[in-house]
Chains A and B, each alone.
Chain A
Amino acid sequence: MGLHSSILEAHQIDKRFPGVVALEGVDLMVGAGEVHGLVGKNGAGKSTLVKILSGALQPDAGSIRLGGRTLPSLTPASAQAAGIATVYQDQQLVPGLNVAENLFLGREPRTRLGAVDHARMQSEAGRALAALGLQLDPRAPLPRLDMAQRQQLTIAKAVQREGRVLLLDEPTAALNKTQADFLFTLVRRLVGEGLAVLYISHHLDEVLAIADTVTVLRDGRRVGTVAADALDKAALVSMMVGQQLVEETPQEAPTQPVETVLAAIGLRLGADSTPFELAVMAGEVLGISGTLGSGAFRLARILAGLERPVEGSMTLEGRSYAPVRVRDAVARGVVFLPEDMLREGLVMPMAVAPNVSLTNLREVAPGGRIRLRRERRATRELTRELAVVPDDVEREVRLLSGGNRRKVLLARALFADARVLVLEEPTQGVDVEARREIHRLLRSLASEGRAIVLATTDLEELVQVCDRILVLRKGALAETFRGPATTPQALLASIVAGTAPTERRAP
């Protein structure tokens, strides 16, 4: 740290929420020209700290200094004006405008008559983007940009506005490997020009690779700030968790699957894709993977009744299964747990208990009257079994951390007594501990005789949790892996086999 003069300093930040201390006496110093990693488990206080630095939340106590000057209480606008730019997914971009217009929004070059000088704006945008090594067409309308390109544009916009500190919150969450690598190059280039970057991520390898310094939060306190090259993953994890952890893999001996629960014949995902068949056994975790557009996620959604195949028939427990709506699938005991919980899964303003009972409310409403006490008791049993923290089913779901929200979704599936659980990326954005916990739960659910279908692009997850893994390419089943001999490398090779190198839309 000594190398860098710190540009952003947070001193003794306290933040309380009703019943929770989110941050307590947290210090953070980010130097000009450094990438500063910020890690911690879910609920450790990372998001709260980022929100405070970006002005979205007001701290209860503490001060923030930028370039040696103490900032008065921050709002998102004043933080931006001071040079602290936060890059979330793409919410700072206007969909109706093109790349250059977004880049210059609010500070468009003018002609002498005061009209927007489009020609100059396009050419200046082109220069600015090229200077950052970005291959974005200034005239491209926003909807033509993929997630990675939108993120690049957001970063360019921040830099363009004399940003001095860049807050990147889980910047690789929506990126594939190539896109992530490009992002790292961009970040290094910006840092080389004297920018300070605060990099928040669950991916510890990523943080260790890109950060110069890492600050670890645990339970709202700063555990330490360490130079990244003095750290390895195990050391980082133990700082985050607070105790030494043994390496990985909760793999129990896979149970012997016997009975076919869900089967499909002549399944065709796209108009010109090859039909294939598939069987999911009771007691197994079946992995499904593939690149974007391979049909892996579409297959999962077809099994859960969210989408329909072009052709093919399915059976569930021996009887014909042709769900037209999700409701039909749920009625047959097939429950889908979406990746995007906030948007698709949970009812945030409702408490834990009604969220858990939602799919099968009749269970606690005999004669059409909800028995609130019975509902609380029944749902509490499940949330305890899944170790949802805090142990309070009357708490609103929006007050829970990401890992615990996922557990609430799992509890809902259990409450509905699902025979088949279809999950999408169940551990995306979850911390190390919650991830193991969820993996352990999936295994134990399978061992109770349920069938688990796990659609994920997380190779370690596939290898650790699944009994069988189906790899899809171009809408068809390409390869099946089974048994403990499967390695992430072999899987990756199969997933990308025969696909062209990742395309970037040419500007």
Chain B
Amino acid sequence: MTPSEVRPKPLQRLRRALAAPGGQGAVVVTLLAIVVITAIGNPRFLGIQNILNVLLQISILGIVSVGQTVLLISAGLDLSVGAMLSVSALAGGLVIHATGSTLVGVAVALATALLIGTINGLLAATGRAHPFIITLGTMTLLQGVAIVISRGSPINGMGKLYDIFGIANVLGVPTPVYLLALALGSVALVLRFAPLGRYAFAVGGNEEAARLSGLPIFRIKVSLYALNGLLVGVAAIALSGILDSALPAMGTGYELRAVAAVVIGGTPLFGGRGSVWGTLFGVLLLGLVSNSINLLGIGANLQYVVLGAIITAAVMFQRSS
């Protein structure tokens, strides 16, 4: 072989093999590796109880990430989802305490998240600034709102929510997992069969082409951010049920983990492609890593290092186009 013969370098070949199909090969391989290593290190890992435990742990992040997937496909982004989650859970908690009605509290929590999502959408759709910056602004604002309305302290006792999401199982599976399944399934259907889902891909793939095709870009964007808000509201209700309280900082950190899960799942930051199933893999990866770190007895201080390394590696191995 002469030096001039150009062959793909080993690294490129590895990357190509991992990238197929759908860009989630790397994630699947990493997942398998984690499963195998942890199962060897701790046999309890593959026990049904632990698997259910992992599913419960990822359900909230999963619901939030499903909403973020839709936004990233359309080349949008909402960094305020964590603060949005806190504010709507607090609003729900305040109403439950004031009225004694869990149902009204749930409705208020959902309406709050939907409203905030819509406002983010209205701001982002103006195109005056990148959604990153806009929602960074609303994120800070909402964090402040959360502290103001809660006076900085937790609201304890979320009425029947604790019974519904905190302790209940259906067929042995914790109820929040069903919410995640519902979110995944319905958004997958929207993306595949609803015009709005199709338009999300079109706007993300080429906004100008979508505009010249006569699509109502503004309305599409607002709808997608509103849908994301609604999903955050669902996550807020489930999480406050699990915790049986609403806390001013309960959603902090979800925004970045959600974006990480979506991107690990193969949806590029610049939009036009992606799927919620990829995102499910991303969320599973994050959840399993935390879980296996616990089961392997790696110290809590090292958790972030390992988690960060795996996120970075998974993203680096993704197909770039």
Interface residues in chain A, defined as those with a beta carbon under 8 Å from any beta carbon in chain B: 58-65, 70-74, 306, 326-327, 329-331, 336, 338, 343-350, 354, 358-359, 361-362, 365, 368-370, 372, 412, 416
Which of B5, B201, B212 sits near A61, CB closer than 8 Å? B5
Which of B192, B199, B206 has the most CB atoms of chain A within a 10 A radius of its CB? B206
Chain A residue nearest to B271 in the complex (CB): A349
A329 to B195, CA, bound (A): 20
A350 contacts B195, C-beta separation under 8 Å: no
How many cross-chain pairs have Cβ atoms below 8 Å apart between A and B? 98
- On chain A, the residues within 8 Å of B195 by CB distance are 361-362, 365, 368, 370
| B window 171-203: CB within 8 A of A | 192-195, 198-199, 201-202
Interface assignment of B205: CB less than 8 Å from any CB of chain A: yes
- On chain A, the residues within 8 Å of B202 by CB distance are 347, 350, 354, 358
B216 contacts A327, C-beta separation under 8 Å: yes
Given contact pairs A58-B8, A63-B4, A327-B214, A369 touches B194 in the complex (Cβ within 8 A): yes
Chain A residue nearest to B201 in the complex (CB): A350
- 14 cross-chain CB contacts under 8 A: A58-B8, A61-B6, A70-B2, A72-B4, A73-B4, A73-B6, A327-B214, A343-B208, A348-B272, A354-B201, A358-B215, A368-B194, A370-B192, A370-B194
| B window 273-305: CB within 8 A of A | 273
Which of B7, B209, B273 sits near A344, CB closer than 8 Å? B209
A346 contacts B211, C-beta separation under 8 Å: no
Give 6 A-B pairs besides A63-B5, A345-B212 with Cβ atoms closer than 8 angstroms: A64-B4, A72-B3, A343-B206, A344-B212, A358-B215, A412-B213
Given contact pairs A64-B4, A358-B213, A359-B214, A347 touches B194 in the complex (Cβ within 8 A): no
B194 contacts A330, C-beta separation under 8 Å: no
| B window 76-126: CB within 8 A of A | none
- On chain A, the residues within 8 Å of B209 by CB distance are 344-347, 358
B213 contacts A359, C-beta separation under 8 Å: yes
- On chain B, the residues within 8 Å of A372 by CB distance are 192-193
A354 to B272, CA, bound (A): 12
A313 to B92, CA, bound (A): 54
- On chain A, the residues within 8 Å of B215 by CB distance are 327, 358
Q: State how many residues of chain B have any CB contact under 8 Å with chain A.
A: 28
A185 to B44, CA, bound (A): 78
Interface assignment of B249: CB less than 8 Å from any CB of chain A: no
Given contact pairs A61-B5, A336-B212, A361 touches B206 in the complex (Cβ within 8 A): no
A368 to B216, CA, bound (A): 16
- On chain B, the residues within 8 Å of A58 by CB distance are 6, 8
- On chain A, the residues within 8 Å of B205 by CB distance are 347-350
Given contact pairs A348-B205, A358-B202, A70 touches B212 in the complex (Cβ within 8 A): no
Interface assignment of B31: CB less than 8 Å from any CB of chain A: no
- On chain B, the residues within 8 Å of A59 by CB distance are 6
Which of B6, B202, B273 has the most CB atoms of chain A within a 10 A radius of its CB? B6
- On chain B, the residues within 8 Å of A329 by CB distance are 214
- On chain A, the residues within 8 Å of B210 by CB distance are 347, 358
- On chain A, the residues within 8 Å of B7 by CB distance are 60
- On chain A, the residues within 8 Å of B192 by CB distance are 370, 372
B213 contacts A62, C-beta separation under 8 Å: no
Chain B residue nearest to A349 in the complex (CB): B272
A346 contacts B214, C-beta separation under 8 Å: no
A60 to B215, CA, bound (A): 42
- On chain B, the residues within 8 Å of A369 by CB distance are 193-194
Nearest-Cβ distance from residue B218 to partner chain A, whole angstroms: 10
- On chain A, the residues within 8 Å of B206 by CB distance are 343-348
A330 contacts B2, C-beta separation under 8 Å: no
- On chain A, the residues within 8 Å of B212 by CB distance are 306, 326, 336, 338, 344-345
Nearest-Cβ distance from residue B208 to partner chain A, whole angstroms: 5
Nearest-Cβ distance from residue A448 to partner chain B, whole angstroms: 21
Given contact pairs A361-B195, A368-B194, A370-B195, A70 touches B4 in the complex (Cβ within 8 A): yes
- On chain B, the residues within 8 Å of A72 by CB distance are 3-4
A347 contacts B272, C-beta separation under 8 Å: yes
